[in-house]
Amino acid sequence: MARDERATLLEVHQALPEDQFQSLKFLLEGRVPAGLLLPASRPELCRILLQRFPGNSLRITAGILRQLGRLDLIQRFHLPLAEQISEETPWEPNGDTPKVRGDPTSGCRPGGMPAPPVNPRRLTEKDLMQVAQRLGKEWQEVGILHLGLERSRLEQIQEENPGNPVLWNFEMLREWRRRERQEATAFQLRSCLEPARLDPGILDFLQSLQGD
């Protein structure tokens, strides 16, 4: 069984393009030390997962693939994907979903938008990654014009994550979330991104989160 698990895990990792493989490693932080993850090759990551999550590595990988939008790989390799994944394997180790009481006039909210939902939750890193995957190549324009971030910080993010546009987007959104603190809600981010020319799926996704 362990041999089959290892072989399947390696095939799944090899089926991912490099940017999604790096995103998979990034999403494992908090469960596996970053010092092990960052330099790990695909075979090395398989070994790490098998050692740390014996008998459960495929389930954990399937949960991340779902975050990355790779349901095709889950189906192709018949990976276990129980409905309880979110409860069994939380992605926010510090329970990063505080309730907030936001000022409806703060941040990016234009005057014509409706009032925010009562007690909205703060966006999680899982939420930010799903937005990051949909952002286009104009990520710096979005960061400067719509999120109010400094160009120098965005250039630093690009240097720290060479060749990985998804992580550029993700780290940019994390920088915005750090600045906004408890105001970093789906409503707030949607208000910021509404004027930008983006994939409509981003706004739809954030709209769906407002009902959580």
3-state SS assignment for residue 32: strand
Please, what are the domains in the chain? 5-77 (1.10.533), 125-209 (1.10.533.10)
Share of the chain above pLDDT 70, in %: 79
pLDDT digits (tens, 9 = 90+) for 51-103: 988 888 999 898 888 888 888 889 999 888 644 333 333 333 333 433 333 33
* Sign of the CA dihedral running 31, 132, 65, 89: positive
Q: Give the residue-averaged pLDDT of 18-42.
A: 84
Query: Cβ distance 68 to 15 under 8 Å?
Result: no
Check pLDDT > 90 for residue 18: no
Q: Give the residue-averaged pLDDT of 41-47.
A: 92
Q: Give the residue-averaged pLDDT of 35-59.
A: 89
- Tell me the C-alpha distance between 203 and 183, whole Å: 17
Phi/psi region, residue 139 (left: phi>0; alpha: psi -120 to 50; beta: rest), is alpha
Query: Which of the four pLDDT bands, split at 50, 70 and 90, describes residue 48?
Result: very high
For residue 145, give the DSSP letter. Answer: I
The pLDDT of residue 49 = 92
Nearest to 21 by CA among 31, 33, 11, 30: 11
